[in-house]
Structure 1
């Protein structure tokens, strides 16, 4: 039985839902928030919170990756960004933050052009090693990210530098990339030969996620152009609402668990998760963890200085992202653990997650995935 809706006589489509379209429902039982655990483990690595920082220059520097690690999460450094292209990236970050724009949302082509120029500088392998070494010396988990296009070129340098979690992240990543011009990255062979857990994505549907799980990935990133900086929907016409995407990929995880005889692949929501309420709903829909960009770009220590942008904004020929103003709400410790002075879900992210789990009667993240949900499109004031 099909649930597709007729768009017109030639085309039918599924109904899909965003995080704003759904809400969790309290049950008959409540708990003390202090009895709730937000801990998360992937492979051999355990964390107090299920938060992974997005590998974006406006979010993560070596220093903020270290700070997030100390605060219970894991910071992923963008190994194709300013930190691996410039010996002194602070000057570049200051310039990006000070670029004049016609709008707060940063759609000015002059900004895009300058980002493209700055990110055209070559990646320096010695800087990859130096930045990851700095994180390792601080005693936190070392995580770095490359796009699929750059993975073959730089992964040996990354492994030699001691990376412990390796992230392959793009707007969309498939297990079967077909090219008549270049030898594509064979994800299954590549991941099999590595000695470190790999998180790969994005994927926004059941079938592509299932194929990524079969490559041996430890985690799959869920999302496609849904973040605050992304313009993929406007530029390319491609978009999948996050609530449906997470639930679809969580279903793929369950089926792969049976197919593989018990191998569990983590589902990580990546994109459109910018407030504590978004985090709560992403976890309830089946995510094991969330990758945070905007939420951490608001921290006082964030390299973006109140601005936020992604690698897509600097693509040399098909830019599909903006530099956007997100402001600051306080130091990272308050953004994550409070105390909060904001009522809009931008600070004390861990406390709000813990409170939601307690209010609905769940003590850990895995059991919280069973919470009841309803369709309840967001209205101002609700």
Structure 2
């Protein structure tokens, strides 16, 4: 059933929902939180927790990727960030953290104008691999054809193609677009691709052979895509739509399962819980992990959109520091705002509603909660 409203005589719109618009309903059965499994796997790779650290320089360095892997998750390194442009990026990270807000965008554009060095791509990925954790690196669709051979040769386990929005049918009169289906078919590693924010684009991405689809568009705290382009995808509906595409693609493909990964609008543990309830298999976290005391941002957060050379669609934002990465993930929490002990919160919500694993929890009952603020 499509719930449409009339905007005016010439335009109707589908009503959609953000995480703040919904609530999870407890079941008749409850469980002990310690009996709940929050493990997740994609392709041949097993993880203790369904959390991916987003490929953003404020969140993931090689050291952070290693630490995230040691804690049971997956850290995805931005292969177009400062770590692959500079041998020693620490002074530049310090400059980004301390520069006045009015100068941040212009200065970051200059910093990120430095060419990417393939030898540094190899070096950074080798550093992560040497620690014995799963290796994941991300490129934008524009850079993928240029650098993917270097990335694969370096021994990446999971290849992430991440953009503000990624289409399986990109059209350009100026350059040959990336043919995702041919590209993924030729690779020997699983590919996660996105973002997608609706049923049809997600279904097309699944048909390319992707192992996972990232869901989100302009919903992160550091993004101004909504203000710059007028485009935004309320995440509860977006995740549910893409989960519907996964269900239909399984029927179409004879049982092939594509993982749905929510990416954006996940500021608290409650948002993470709701994302999985709406059908996500895992979540990619930016702001939530940027608050850690042991990540590169030092209390600040920014993404690739913040330093786009022609049309920046993001800012460097101050998010503060609350605890080390391990405490944000596993607690114990000393505050009640949903910003730390993310794993504990997920376990407790699943236990309270009577579900023992993530796939079961996707069937939990949800209701509309019109009393909630419409902040995202």
Instruction: Tell me the TM-score range normalised by the shorter chain.
Output: over 0.9
Q: Is 2:134 the counterpart of 1:141?
A: yes
Q: Is 2:225 the counterpart of 1:232?
A: yes
Tell me, in whole angstroms, the C-alpha distance in 2 between the residues paired with 1:47 and 1:3.
38
Counterpart residue number, 2:303: 310
Tell me, in whole angstroms, the C-alpha distance in 1 between the residues paired with 2:199 and 2:49.
26
Counterpart residue number, 2:59: 59
Query: Deviations 1:196-225 (Å, cap 9, x if unpaired)?
Result: 000000000000000000000000000001
Q: Is 2:79 the counterpart of 1:79?
A: yes
Tell me, in whole angstroms, the C-alpha distance in 2 between the residues paired with 1:377 and 1:83.
44
Tell me, in whole angstroms, the C-alpha distance in 2 between the residues paired with 1:223 and 1:4.
22
Q: CA deviation at 1:278?
A: 0.5
Out of 328, 336, 339, the residue aligned to residue 343 of structure 1 is 336
The CA RMSD over aligned residues, in Å, is 0.9
Q: Is 2:324 the counterpart of 1:319?
A: no
Counterpart residue number, 2:289: 296
Out of 232, 243, 250, the residue aligned to residue 236 of structure 2 is 243
Tell me, in whole angstroms, the C-alpha distance in 2 between the residues paired with 1:2 and 1:42.
32
Dislocated runs of 4+, deviation >6 Å = none
Tell me, in whole angstroms, the C-alpha distance in 2 between the residues paired with 1:159 and 1:273.
30
Query: Deviations 1:216-261 (Å, cap 9, x if unpaired)?
Result: 0000000001000010010000001000000000000000000000
Counterpart residue number, 1:105: none
Counterpart residue number, 1:182: 175
Q: Is 2:145 the counterpart of 1:152?
A: yes
The 8 Å contact of residues 20 and 378 in structure 1, kept in 2 or not, is answered as no
Counterpart residue number, 1:90: 90
The 8 Å contact of residues 81 and 119 in structure 1, kept in 2 or not, is answered as yes
Tell me, in whole angstroms, the C-alpha distance in 2 between the residues paired with 1:75 and 1:339.
22
Tell me, in whole angstroms, the C-alpha distance in 2 between the residues paired with 1:378 and 1:128.
48
Q: CA deviation at 1:377?
A: 3.7
Counterpart residue number, 1:104: none
Q: Is 2:276 the counterpart of 1:283?
A: yes
- Taking the TM superposition and a 5 Å limit, the aligned residue runs for 1:1-382 are 2-101=2-101, 108=102, 110-377=103-370, 379=372
Query: Deviations 1:313-347 (Å, cap 9, x if unpaired)?
Result: 00000100011111111111100001111100110
Tell me, in whole angstroms, the C-alpha distance in 2 between the residues paired with 1:155 and 1:378.
47
Structure 1 length-normalised TM: 0.97
Q: CA deviation at 1:2?
A: 4.8
- Matched residue SS, 1:38: coil
- Matched residue SS, 2:213: strand
Q: CA deviation at 1:378?
A: 5.4
Gaps of 5+ in 2: none
- Matched residue SS, 1:52: strand
The 8 Å contact of residues 144 and 167 in structure 1, kept in 2 or not, is answered as yes
Question: Per the alignment, do residues 350 and 2 of structure 1 end up closer, same or farther by CA in structure 2, a change over 3 Å counting?
Answer: closer
Tell me, in whole angstroms, the C-alpha distance in 1 between the residues paired with 2:107 and 2:147.
25
Q: CA deviation at 1:60?
A: 0.1
